[in-house]
Amino acid sequence: MNQRKAPIDAARLRAELVAPAGPYAALDVVASTGSTNADLLDAVTEDAEDRTVLLAEEQTAGAGRRGRTWHSPAGAGIYCSVLLRPAEVSFARLGSLAVVAGLALIDLSTELGVDAVLKWPNDMLAGPDREKCAGILSEAAASDERAVVLGMGLNVLAAPQPVPPGPGGLAATSLREQGAATTDRTELARLLLLALAERERRWRQAAGDLVRAGLLEDYRARCVTLGQEVKIGAPDGSTLLGIAVDVDAAGQLVLETGDGERRTIFAGDVVHLRQA
């Protein structure tokens, strides 16, 4: 069967993942939407429950970081957002959810036999050429309650049209191109959401502290940014050069500049220049 045309089986996912059988409160699959993240951000004000999941067969306005487009052609990927209401976690630690999602993607790639690593802050790279296979977008909701929408875009099949390179000329790849054991999107969504639930459970129990959750060492081991000379484009348009030396307990990058000063970077576009 042409898996590009095989829809994600929402009934199967609900039966296995939604309470009481699984860890999620609700799960829907839509044929098309602008952005699953945007839809769940809207749902926050409609009292959508903690751990509500939305998947789309395609996104017409899929969003990446800093307003970029995430190419989301019909039937070619997993386009998934999860609404979380982690009352136990301070607002300052919500940014570490990108680490949680990255590790869930690595758990999935390991299950599939795909060689993959993480690029700080929000990319999974796969294959010997370290091409982009998945991206993460975490957005806090503008509400009185603490709520965040965690979006994950995963390339399962090659896009029907060429995808423009990302920052630094980063090319795109897919699970199929990297020899994944399966490209059944229902099974992939199931495995990814189970991996996320387990990682997020540990993160929430530790109040968002990656060290207490036992997640930081896992992330450091799989983060290919560490040890690299990097150029970081800050949100204000400035750039910074240095060696990426660590990721801290809040998921922030620690950069050592040329004068030996250490800077903590909360967000930015990272381009790998060369191995330090």
Cis before 20 (ω within 30): yes
CATH number corresponding to 225-272: 2.30.30.100
Alpha helices in the chain (DSSP H): 10-17, 36-44, 97-112, 185-205, 216-222
Write down the pTM of the prediction. 0.92
Spatial CA neighbour of 101 closest among 192, 18, 16, 27 = 192
Reduced DSSP (H G I as helix, E B as strand, rest coil) percent helix, strand, coil of the chain, to 5: 25, 30, 45
Q: Could you identify the residue written with the tokens 């969504």?
A: 189
3-class DSSP state of 136:
strand
Block mean pLDDT (10 aa), the chain, length 276: 72 98 98 96 94 96 57 88 96 94 98 98 96 95 86 91 70 96 98 98 97 97 97 86 95 92 91 81
3-class DSSP state of 155:
strand
pLDDT, tens digit, for every residue of 134-164?
Answer: 999 999 997 777 899 999 999 999 877 767 7
Task: Evaluate whether 10-219 and 225-272 have a shared fold.
Answer: no
Predicted local distance difference test score (pLDDT) of residue 66:
47
Cα separation, 232 vs 161, whole angstroms: 29
In the sheet where 131-140 sits, what is the strand order? 26-30, 52-56, 77-84, 148-155, 131-140, 123-126, 116-119
> CATH homologous superfamily of domain 10-219?
Bira Bifunctional Protein; Domain 2 (3.30.930.10)
Q: Domain boundaries in the chain?
A: 10-219, 225-272
**Partners of 153 in the beta sheet?**
79, 135
**Partners of 140 in the beta sheet?**
148
Predicted local distance difference test score (pLDDT) of residue 3:
44
Predicted local distance difference test score (pLDDT) of residue 55:
98
Q: List, as one string, the DSSP characters of 159-197.
A: -SSPPPPBGGGBPB--TTTTT-S---HHHHHHHHHHHHH
